[in-house]
């Protein structure tokens, strides 16, 4: 029996400390969203994400996200970041305090199927997870895209909701572990309080995705697959590596935009809500996350360079094989050439057997050599000019110029004066 749409909700424990276990609820679009706790993460599988026929727009409107974000263009981009804030216009203070903040951003991760001996021990993300004790549903492509979209809504003083779409199946559990092991509770007066731990987990998935591309590269390097069978695996892995580098570069830009927005929102909060230390540490943490993404991008680029190295090695091996074949052909030619030459020579009419069975040589044999030798030299000269024409012309020109200058100096040199000898 097919299951209906579901939403997984992760919220603070009702007991007043820590975070409760993720709870799966039926999802019927706006009604389910309106019943979310004031502080929570909500997770939607991509198959449960409403289509852009008005239902998706209504869902995003609950978070204050513009309807344009629901269209196909934004749904298929590698990354983006946007925000929208409202301020207390009636405040008499010179700096109008922020009253709400909405953000929407997107990060992608391409998970390739694990190799037999992976670098890390994380789960398989290509297959769908098991449900109700059943076996996992195997993916058919050997890879899977997680096109993670995030929509956040913060309202002063402490309402903060985050909607996560198309994230890996274990994100609710991993995020719950991270939140439960925090040294300090989340500061919900911060519009970006729930971003930090979420992005930490996204970076973990990006790291796994990079290693899932690196592991097949290492297998290629160790196995040294035959020349004929190496190009298809290299083509597939190279495509994954290119995608990994692309989405990581886009993720770094997204994180940079998020940092700018965070700084702006912190400055717009009422004085005293967040300490200077808190704001500075929050900024430093985002900068640290950006540096992690950039480092992952460099690691992904190194996988691409290693693939290029394997391609160069394969081409060099092919050239070496071709060279060996040409040497074999040349050896066979050298073996048969003397026999072929003498066979052709003695089969001419210059050599005959006389009536007495003796061997007679024509006195016109010189004609054969008089024609063959010039013709052979002519062929060699034509071949040399065809293959090394520019070099030969430059060589002749240089020596001709030297000869011309030498002759000119000799003409200008004055004759020695006559010496009168005394008698």
Q: Which pLDDT does position 46 carry in this prediction?
A: 92
pTM for the full predicted model: 0.76
Residue 199 CA to residue 193 CA, distance in Å, equals 11
Nearest to 147, CA basis, from 114, 109, 181, 197: 109
pLDDT in tens, 331-355: 888 888 877 877 787 787 877 877 7
Q: Which pLDDT does position 204 carry in this prediction?
A: 97
The model's confidence at residue 88, banded by pLDDT at 50, 70 and 90, is: very high
Q: Which helix (H) or strand (E) holds 110?
A: strand 98-112
- Tell which wins on pLDDT, 8 or 393: 8
Q: CA distances (Å), 376 to each of 106, 131, 367, 382, 388, in order?
A: 73, 82, 14, 10, 18
CB 105 within 8 A of CB 201: no
Burial of 253 (0-12, 13-18, 19+ CB in 10 A): middle
Is the pLDDT reported for residue 137 higher than 70?
no
Cis ω before 157 (30° cut-off from 0): yes
Residue 93 CA to residue 98 CA, distance in Å, equals 12
- Tell which wins on pLDDT, 375 or 137: 375
Sequential DSSP letters for 325-392: HHHHHHHHHHHHHHHHHHHHHHTSTTEEE-TTS-EEE-TTHHHHHHHHHHHHHHHHHHHHHHHHHHHH
Mean pLDDT within 17-36:
88
**Residues for the chain: how many in total?**
423
- Tell which wins on pLDDT, 334 or 246: 246
């Amino acid at each position: 029996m097919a299951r209906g749409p579901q939403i997984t909700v992760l919220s603070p424990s009702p007991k007043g400390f820590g975070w409760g276990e993720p709870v799966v609820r039926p999802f019927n679009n706006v009604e389910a969203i309106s019943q979310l706790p004031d502080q929570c993460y909500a997770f939607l599988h991509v198959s449960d994400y409403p289509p852009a026929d008005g239902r998706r727009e209504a869902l995003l409107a609950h978070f204050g996200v513009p309807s344009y974000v629901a269209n196909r263009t934004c749904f298929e981009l590698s990354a983006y970041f946007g925000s929208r804030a409202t301020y207390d216009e009636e405040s008499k203070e010179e700096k109008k305090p922020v009253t709400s903040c909405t953000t929407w951003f997107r990060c992608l991760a391409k998970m390739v199927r694990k190799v037999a001996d992976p670098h890390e021990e994380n789960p398989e993300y290509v297959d769908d997870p098991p449900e109700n004790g059943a076996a996992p549903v195997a993916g058919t492509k050997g890879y899977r895209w997680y096109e993670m979209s995030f929509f956040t809504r913060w309202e002063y003083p402490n309402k903060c909701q985050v909607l996560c779409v198309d994230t890996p199946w274990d994100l609710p559990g991993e995020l719950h572990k991270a939140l439960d092991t925090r040294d300090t509770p989340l500061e919900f007066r911060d519009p970006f309080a729930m971003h930090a731990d979420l992005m930490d987990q996204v970076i973990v998935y990006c790291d796994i995705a990079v290693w899932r591309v690196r592991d097949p590269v290492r297998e290629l390097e160790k196995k040294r697959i035959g020349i004929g069978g190496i190009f298809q695996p290299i083509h597939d892995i190279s495509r994954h590596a290119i995608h990994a580098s692309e989405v990581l570069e886009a993720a770094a830009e997204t994180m940079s935009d998020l940092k700018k927005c965070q700084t702006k929102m912190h400055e717009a909060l009422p004085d005293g809500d967040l300490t200077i230390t808190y704001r500075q540490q929050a900024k430093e943490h985002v900068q640290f996350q950006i540096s992690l993404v950039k480092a992952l991008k460099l690691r992904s680029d190194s996988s691409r360079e290693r693939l290029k190295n394997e391609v160069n090695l394969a081409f060099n091996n092919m050239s070496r094989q071709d060279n060996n074949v040409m040497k074999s052909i040349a050896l066979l030619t050298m073996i048969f050439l003397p026999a072929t030459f003498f066979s052709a020579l003695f089969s001419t009419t210059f050599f005959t057997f006389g009536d007495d069975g003796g061997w007679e040589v024509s006195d016109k044999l010189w004609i054969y050599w008089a024609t063959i030798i010039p013709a052979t030299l002519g062929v060699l000269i034509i071949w040399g000019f065809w293959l090394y024409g520019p070099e030969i012309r430059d060589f002749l020109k240089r020596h001709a110029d030297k000869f011309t200058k030498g002759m000119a100096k000799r003409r200008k040199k004055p004759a020695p004066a006559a010496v009168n000898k005394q008698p």
